[in-house]
């Protein structure tokens, strides 16, 4: 097994070594790492809901689901949550998945296969990339957020294929920017395609759905993937679309069929968390605006990338921030092309947290 040792050594030499860090406290604004209290600016718990745990949910439903949905793991509360999620996303239906990764893998590979075409944004999430690969469809990558390049590819290739899927993150997970969904919406009509939108970092942040930003509502050619493990504060994911789409996925989607159902207690907690979303979304939106002003950037999402020149600089800056009481890990290749600190603002932060981070960040950026 020499090759494993060699590979790890190579990774270390390139400052790309990854290590698991243990949190000694639950997810939240303040976390403890290595016995040190830190203000957490790295989580996707955008609305600060991850710590919520209503004993009623766990007493009523227990911790496990015991089977896949199609065997005997389908509980009333799953259905209640699916209906509520469809309502907020303005689709006819939704279907729960165990994770967003599995939702993207399963939905993409159910919708297209050999002889089909996928057009995928160059900065799409790894789970989308893997879903595209798994589908065995031909994949063409369009330049990040470029509807023009997408149309060029559609013009050139669409007629050679049976079905066509356009797939994009709505809020990009590492940059926080937003896909031109209005243009993508038109292109899917013009070129007879389905549009799959991954709302993982949009749900509960930019609104209930990213389409709201463009005054659009989903139609029968739109599928939206949402996750429960980010702003909604629990775990799992869902795909939104028509009733027909739901029925099709229940019958065809392997990552839905062949896996243990999301625990019903988690579905119950998610329903409770949903009630808190509007107020918290409002607070988050204010903090995002304020933090943007402090950094001199504009963002509609809660993700603020702080790009640096090298992997080494990213690691050094992250360490320096930790010493000053902030938790902002470095994100490096292959997750991103250019290393960065990925800062996320949550509804639980205080204005003072934002002011102190922006000051310390400027100081550290000068010295690293």
Ligand X SMILES: Cc1ncc(COP(=O)(O)O)c(C=O)c1O
Q: Which residues bind ligand X (CB under 6 A)?
A: 99-101, 104, 125, 127, 169, 173, 198, 200-201, 227, 229, 237
Q: Residue number with the shortest CB distance to ligand X?
A: 100
For ligand X, give the closer residue by CB, 191 or 235: 235
Cα–Cα distance list, 118 to 65, 121, 139, 339 (Å): 34, 10, 5, 28
For ligand X, give the closer residue by CB, 130 or 143: 130
For ligand X, give the closer residue by CB, 104 or 109: 104
Strands 340-344, 330-331: pairing is antiparallel
**Rounded least distance, CB 199 to ligand X, Å:** 8
Contacts of 2 (CB under 8 A, 6+ apart): none
**Rounded least distance, CB 206 to ligand X, Å:** 13
**Rounded least distance, CB 173 to ligand X, Å:** 4
For ligand X, give the closer residue by CB, 151 or 199: 199
Supply the Cα-derived Rg of the chain in whole angstroms. Answer: 21
**Rounded least distance, CB 198 to ligand X, Å:** 5
Cβ-contact 52, 273 below 8 angstroms: yes
Task: Report residue 26 as tokens.
Answer: 């639950």
**Rounded least distance, CB 200 to ligand X, Å:** 3
For ligand X, give the closer residue by CB, 237 or 354: 237
**Rounded least distance, CB 226 to ligand X, Å:** 9
For ligand X, give the closer residue by CB, 8 or 258: 258
Cβ-contact 231, 199 below 8 angstroms: no
Cβ-contact 332, 311 below 8 angstroms: yes
**Rounded least distance, CB 75 to ligand X, Å:** 20
For ligand X, give the closer residue by CB, 137 or 225: 225
């Amino acid at each position: 097994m020499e090759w494993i040792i060699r590979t790890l050594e190579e990774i270390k030499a390139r400052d790309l070594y990854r290590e698991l860090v243990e949190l000694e406290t639950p997810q939240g604004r303040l976390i403890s790492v290595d016995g040190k209290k830190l203000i957490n600016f790295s989580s996707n718990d955008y609305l600060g809901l991850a710590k919520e745990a209503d004993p009623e949910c766990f007493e009523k439903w227990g911790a496990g689901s015991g089977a896949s949905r199609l065997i005997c793991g389908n509980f009333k509360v799953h259905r209640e949550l699916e209906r509520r999620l469809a309502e907020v996303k303005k689709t006819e239906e939704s279907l729960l998945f165990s994770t967003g990764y599995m939702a993207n893998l399963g939905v993409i590979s159910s919708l297209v296969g050999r002889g089909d075409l996928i057009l995928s944004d160059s900065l799409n999430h790894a789970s989308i990339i893997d879903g595209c690969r798994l589908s065995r469809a031909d994949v063409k990558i369009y330049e990040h957020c470029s509807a023009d390049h997408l149309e060029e590819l559609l013009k050139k290739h669409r007629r050679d294929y049976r079905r066509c899927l356009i797939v994009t993150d709505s809020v990009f997970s590492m940059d926080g920017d937003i896909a031109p969904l209005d243009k993508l919406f038109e292109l899917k009509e013009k070129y007879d395609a389905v549009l799959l939108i991954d709302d993982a970092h949009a749900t509960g942040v930019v609104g209930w759905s990213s389409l709201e930003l463009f005054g659009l509502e989903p139609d029968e050619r739109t599928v939206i993937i949402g996750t429960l493990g980010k702003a909604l504060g629990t775990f799992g994911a869902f795909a939104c679309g028509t009733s027909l789409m739901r029925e099709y996925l229940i019958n065809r989607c392997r990552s839905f069929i062949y896996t243990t159902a999301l625990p019903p207690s988690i579905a119950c907690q998610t329903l409770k968390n949903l009630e808190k979303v509007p107020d918290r979304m409002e607070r988050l939106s204010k903090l995002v605006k304020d933090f943007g002003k402090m950094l001199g950037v504009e963002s509609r999402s809660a993700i603020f990338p702080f790009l640096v020149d090298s992997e080494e600089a990213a690691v050094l800056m992250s360490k320096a921030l930790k010493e000053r009481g902030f938790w902002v890990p470095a994100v490096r290749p292959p997750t991103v092309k250019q290393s960065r600190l990925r800062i996320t603002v949550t509804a639980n932060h205080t204005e003072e947290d934002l002011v102190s981070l922006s000051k310390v960040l400027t100081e550290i950026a000068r010295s690293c």
